[in-house]
Chains A and B, each alone.
Chain A
Amino acid sequence: MCLGIPGKVIERFEMYGLPMAKVQFGGICRQTCLAYVPDAAVGEYVVVHVGFAISKIDEEEAARTYQLLEQMDQLTELAAPDPDMGS
């Protein structure tokens, strides 16, 4: 129910005074209301719930999360006791 799908803003326009956008999800495009994310620019990604953009996706944070996950088991290996250090 609280499904939020990431999509890319393709085109912005106005309808009855509301900021709207064409947002692309994979191969599908849907009309989306931008009233709650009015600064979402063409090319940016937004999370869409029931026809409304509710958040911009922070690309830097997304990349950082992924990098942290990638590095994780190197850290685990570093944290393992080192026989040469006698701990």
Chain B
Amino acid sequence: MKYLDEYRDGRLARKIVREIEHIQTRPWVIMEVCGGQTHSIVKHGIDHLLPRGIELVHGPGCPVCVTSLELIDKAHTIARRPDVIFCSFGDMLRVPGSECDLFALKSRGAQVRVVYSPLDCLKIALANPESKVVFFAVGFETTAPANAMAVWEARRRGIKNFLLLTSHVLVPPAIAAILQSPQNRVQGFLGPGHVCVIQGSREYEAISSRFRVPIVITGFEPLDILEGTLMVVRLLESGTAEVQNQYVRAVRREGNRQAQELVQKVFEVGDRKWRGVGSIPKSGYKLRWEFRDHDAERAFDVKEIDTKEPAICISGQILKGIKKPHDCPAFGTQCTPQSPLGATMVSAEGACAAYYAYGRHLVKEPA
């Protein structure tokens, strides 16, 4: 496929690795922010291809993983109602709440549907005027424009039975939280390519200069990730803290203005609780007051649910790049994708689930 296959060329990959070996003078710890990048790295074995001393640690960029258990339980309470058709992206269905997952609810008769796009929910709402159609709006900045458009269109076209259960998270506050942690090990970042397609690179320029850390906005294919890593190593070796763009074929410095404008009209920034990490100030979107009629949290009075995560789970430290899946005694034994104990095992893009999917629970990681 065009723009995919050419970025999976093994011969070029080896060239980039040789170049990194050539310029590297000391060990570096680099974090890839996005779960899509984590998945690609583990799938293609990129971390094992890199020279010794270049360590990739996995970031918090999987929105399914970091959706709080409270909100998942809230979603399940709403999905159980007979007057609700509950719509979600497919990867949210297997995420366990305190009691079960959405698949289990569906098998017990709840109306749970997987959608490809949030706009599909408007069609479902029009076809089922007697039901309330609730969409579980999970995602980072990349997904916010699509969800904003669904709400905007629902209001414009008078589709009153469409509601959004919002669980939107933002990348820059999470990066700042990682860098402010006293245990931080991360020296440079592969920035999230598709988040920056929407947001542009300015927010990352602010982080880079505030924390004196290099950030290279990077794509998702193996050659993108290798080239991004090479660019970060070059910046680290020369002591330069700035933002560079590896993903030039899709990311512009100003981002996508049209998308930013609609997101601004529909959402406002608020505090958000991240599974495994805790509450981060101003790290999420919520619906603006003008769109309250489409807000599922207002429409259904769901009480705050008290939840507890298993004490053994170290997903919080994994999401911050302090630990890796193999550091956890439960990894691959008590904790598997079939019965996950915490954030990084619940979705395919979580670090633990990716390690498990590609057989890394069967081998000892090289020290």
Question: Which positions in A face B, CB cutoff 8 Å?
Answer: 1-4, 6, 8, 16, 18, 25-26, 30, 33, 35-38, 45, 47, 49-52, 54-55, 57-59, 61-62, 64-66, 69-70, 72-73, 76, 79
Contacts and interface: CB of A to CB of B under 8 A. Distances in A.
B108 interface: no
Contact of B198 (A54, A59, A79): A54
A1 B347 contact: yes
Interface in B326-352: 347, 349
A30 B116 contact: yes
Interface of B: 1-4, 6, 12, 15-16, 18-19, 22, 34-36, 61-64, 89, 91, 116-120, 138-140, 142-143, 145-146, 149, 153, 157, 192-195, 197-198, 220, 223, 227, 246, 248-252, 256, 258-259, 262, 347, 349
Contact of B19 (A3, A38, A57, A72): A72
Nearest to A57: B249
Contact of A2 (B12, B120, B142): B142
A44 B198 CA distance: 19
B259 A54 contact: yes
Given A2-B61, A45-B3, A54 B197 contact: yes
Contacts of B250: 4, 47, 55, 57-58
Nearest to A26: B1
Q: Is the interface of A mostly helix, strand, loop or mixed?
A: mixed
Contacts of B349: 1
A61 B198 contact: no
B194 A4 contact: yes
Contacts of A59: 249
A49 B117 CA distance: 9
B18 A1 contact: no
A9 to B, nearest CB: 13
Contact of A51 (B6, B116, B220, B227): B116
A4 B3 contact: no
20 contacts: A2-B142, A2-B193, A4-B142, A8-B2, A16-B157, A25-B1, A26-B1, A35-B149, A36-B145, A50-B89, A51-B116, A51-B118, A51-B120, A51-B146, A54-B256, A55-B197, A58-B249, A69-B16, A72-B15, A72-B19
B18 A69 contact: no
A1 B91 contact: yes
Contacts of A69: 12, 15-16, 223, 227
Given A1-B62, A1-B63, A69-B223, A49 B142 contact: yes
Contacts of A50: 89, 116-118, 143, 146
Nearest to A35: B149
B254 to A, nearest CB: 12
B26 to A, nearest CB: 19
Contacts of B347: 1
A18 B156 CA distance: 12
Nearest to A25: B1
A1 B117 contact: no
A61 B219 CA distance: 13
B36 A2 contact: yes
Contacts of B146: 33, 49-52
B4 A6 contact: yes
B1 A76 contact: no
Contacts of B193: 2, 4
Contacts of B34: 2
A35 B117 contact: no
Nearest to B149: A35
Contacts of B223: 69
